[in-house]
Amino acid sequence: MERCGQKYLTAVVKRLGPLTRNYYVRAVLHLLLSVPAGFLLATILGTVCLAIASVIYLTAAIRGEQWTPIEPKPKERPQVGGTIKQPPSNPPPRPPAEARKKPSEEEAAAVGGAQVNPIPVTDEVV
């Protein structure tokens, strides 16, 4: 996933080549930038941050890490004809499978064509 503005910096780093891709170069650059900032009290926190970044880059370089750009992969679109095996026979919305089953002749005769209420209903007038 690309962050905001990352594609522009990626293009710059790719054009500068091994000078910016190598973490040893980045570690030395951060260390050199932190030296002049250390002479002013107002920038001492920035000096510490640059020195820590230099140590982090140096550790990554010793471990053999190297910057590589994250290239967006082209999305493969599935072919519409290849994914559909057989088009549906009923248009949506479809009733549930139980409702789609046709009752057999025996069930229709037993019921008598009308639905039977399983709960007895009594009409009690108060």
Q: Closest Cα to residue 22, out of 58, 55, 53?
A: 58
Mean of pLDDT over the chain = 79
Q: What is the pLDDT of residues 20-38, one digit of tens each?
A: 778 898 899 889 988 888 8
Distance CA 27, CA 96 (A): 66
Q: How far apart are CA 7 and CA 21, in angstroms?
A: 15
What pLDDT sits at residue 41? 83
Task: Report residue 100: phi and psi, to 5°.
Answer: -75, -25
